Each structure stands twice: as C-alpha cells, then as structure tokens.
Amino acid sequence: MSASHPERKLILIIDDEPEIRNLVQRYLGREGFDVIGVGNGADMQDVLNRQLPDLVIMDIRLPGDDGVSLTRQLRSTSRIPIIMLTSKKEVVDRVTGLASGADDYLTKPFDLRELLARVQALLRRTEEGRTARTAHHGVLCFSGWELDISQRKLRGADERTIPLSTAEFDLLRVLAENPNTVLNRDFLLRATRGRSTMPFDRTIDVRIGHLRRHLSSDQGDGRELIRTVRGAGYMLEGKVRYQSGAD
C-alpha cells in the first residue's frame, strides 16, 4: 500500500462487491482522493490500525459484522464522517444507518457524481465544524489545563505557562479537538506536519512523551491524560470544554 499524498484526503470504502469497490476507487482517485477499498470488518480494522481515513463509505450489507455494527464500533471511538450505502430503497435501512451514527446515506445503484458531491459536502461540513469550534482563537479547557489557541500557550491551574514547541502545541491541539477518540500515528503526523509516517518513524511517540512530561503535575500524571491504545494510537481522555475568545 503506497503512502497517501499529504494534501489529499484519504477515503476508506468497505463493500464486499469488488466491482463497486474498484469503480469507486478509480473514480474518486481521478477526483484527487486517496482511496483504500476492503470487503469486510476485519480488513477495515487492519486499515484503521495503520492509519485514520478522513471519511468512510460503508455498505450496510456485509459478511460477518454488517455495516450498522461496524458504524457503531467506529462511532464509539471516532468522529470520522461516514456515508452509508444501502442496497434497498426501504426507509428502515436509511433510518437504521443514520441511527447507528452514519452522517449520510446513498442508495444503490448510485451515480458516481452524486457520491462525489456527497463526499465533498460531508468533508466540507466536517472541516467547517472543526474550524467553527476553535477557529484561530479561544481556549480548550481540560483536566485543569487551558490550551490557548490564539496565543498558542498552555497554562496550568496556577496560571503558570508551560513552554511548548510548535510541534508539541499542534499535537496537543489535535488531541484536545478530538477527545476520547483514538488517533493513530499516521493521522497525527498528517494533521500536524502534513505528511505520513515512514517505517520506524517514532516522531509522534517522542512528542507524546514530551507532552506527558509537560502535563504531569500535582493535578495528575500525563500518562493518564494521554493514553496509549496498543496497536491503535493515542487518545486524550476526559471532557474538553471550548471557551470562545469572547467568554
């Protein structure tokens, strides 16, 4: 599997029909996306263990765990936008898909141009929502810490400023913007440095270690705040509150 281009969005499609997977991969690839196609939940998890896609296209009818079960699994740890593919025009399929956590749905057979439009719209809404939450100002508050977005500073409960490098600040911001969500190394490196990991690249691990030391104080252990999920990545645990610059 080749590494993703740093500026291209990564799409994961889970569909047990090879012809549909291949068709979607070729079409979205020509439209500027990196696309990975798999046919079942086990292969989906293998991909997620290595890298976090920007969007998932999920068939509702799959061998083994169906699309509804897999969507619920994804939603338990991630906010990745999901488009559900349904093979029937029954309302129950669409309702079940959306209730499980899917963001949008498309009924088979579908027009590739409509799929592209829905992918672009969902990615745009996701990005706009993320930008609206933090924009270039405001403060992310968690476990007694304040991460000031506009001033790019980390403050403790005693108002003491903790010095962070640019890379450390960017990494902590991504973790705080996605609390209680497992983020793998490839996603974290692409989100903070605009590139994918290379074999034996331990950059993220080193920076996580630095952040844990910064976050260790009388308030708690940084290793408890930033948890390692073996084989998957890292997660900032706890409630994160966004405070706007006007508050």
Q: What is the pLDDT along the chain (247 residues), one digit of tens a residue?
A: 444 444 689 999 999 999 999 999 999 999 999 999 999 999 999 998 888 899 999 999 898 888 999 998 888 777 788 999 987 666 667 777 777 888 888 888 899 999 999 999 888 877 765 655 555 578 999 988 999 988 888 998 888 898 888 888 889 999 998 898 888 887 887 777 654 445 445 778 888 998 998 888 655 566 789 999 888 889 999 899 988 755 5
Which of the listed residues 79, 107, 132 is the one where a domain comes to its end? 132
Neighbours of 35 (CB within 10 A): 23
Q: Tokens 């079940």 — which residue?
A: 96
What total number of domains does the chain contain? 2
Residue 3 in domain? no
Rounded Cα distance, 150 and 134, in Å: 9
Check whether residue 171 and residue 200 sit in a common domain: yes
Check whether residue 96 and residue 151 sit in a common domain: no
Name the pTM for this structure: 0.59
Rounded Cα distance, 66 and 72, in Å: 10
User: If DSSP codes are grouped into helix, strand and coil, which group holds residue 157?
Assistant: coil
How many helices (H) and strands (E) would you count in the chain? Answer: 9, 12
For the chain, the straight-line distance linking the first and the last C-alpha, in angstroms and rounded, comes to 47
Which of the listed residues 95, 115, 132 is the one where a domain comes to its end? 132
Q: Which domain holds residue 200?
A: 135-243
Residue 1 in domain? no
Which of the listed residues 95, 117, 132 is the one where a domain comes to its end? 132
